[in-house]
Chains A and B, each alone.
Chain A
Amino acid sequence: QITLKESGLTVVKPTQTLTLTCTFSGFSLSTNGVGVGWIRQPPGKALEWLALIYWNDDKRYSPSLRSRLTITKDTSKNQVVLTMTNMDPVDSATYYCAHRPVAGSWLDFWGQGTLVTVSS
């Protein structure tokens, strides 16, 4: 059974750096083809894909946020970390991590999400 859970500060100030951790179970990020991605959703708005890291440490980012994002993995801890620098109120959103299966680039298991508010 695959589960994922996001954690991190829920309130950050403008210009600060956001660090979110995705802790997962039920799969290994050392398995060929597996990936973990981050997606966000501002209140009442659509989903936005942010980043993905693969089992082989290949990393993909949203071009519009590339300069602000870093995604890393700790396979031994079953964790993926996303950092986003220079936070702004428009970055307030629910942030989700999700599992990319071996079979293809859809997202079949999602965490519950964590609401991040950017406010001074």
Chain B
Amino acid sequence: DIQMTQSPSTLSASVGDRVTIPCRASQSISSWLAWYQQKPGKAPKLLMYKASSLESGVPSRFSGSGSGTEFTLTISSLQPDDFATYYCQQYNSYPWTFGQGTKVEIK
């Protein structure tokens, strides 16, 4: 199985900050990576796919980068609605696997 590592598990930031959330794959997954945002008690919401493609309706302050084993989700200017947990997911091979998540909390 491909292991997805997200560190840190918690990230403290303020409104307006530029935030980068890393994700590392245990082996190369090319660009077969998605990012999801999850708020408490809610289902995950797709933000990015193919590492850097923005899902329709997602604000442009979100961007994704990386390929191979190193990936990053960036929020250019953190908004109050962005405080949530973010998960990366690889779909290069089965079984699909998720990272452990990075919670973005208010500093």
Interface of chain A residues 82 through 111 with chain B (CB within 8 A): 96, 104-111
Provide the bound-state CA to CA distance between A106 and B101, in Å.
Answer: 17
B90 to chain A, nearest CB (A): 9
Q: Judge whether A107 and B46 touch: CB under 8 Å.
A: yes
Size of the B side of the interface (Cβ < 8 Å), in residues, is 23
Q: Judge whether B96 and A105 touch: CB under 8 Å.
A: yes
Q: Judge whether B46 and A63 touch: CB under 8 Å.
A: no
B65 to chain A, nearest CB (A): 17
- Is A62's CB within 8 Å of the partner chain B? yes
B98 CB contact (under 8 Å) in A46, A63, A105, A113? A46
Decide if the interface of chain B is mainly helix, strand, loop or mixed. Answer: loop
A51 to chain B, nearest CB (A): 9
Instruction: Kindly supply a per-residue 1/0 record for chain B positions 73-107, scoring 1 wherever the CB is within 8 Å of any chain A CB and 0 otherwise.
Output: 00000000000000101010011111111000000
Instruction: Kindly supply a per-residue 1/0 record for chain B positions 23-36, scoring 1 wherever the CB is within 8 Å of any chain A CB and 0 otherwise.
Output: 00000000010101
Residues of B within 8 A of A (CB): 1, 32, 34, 36, 42-46, 49-50, 55, 87, 89, 91, 94-101
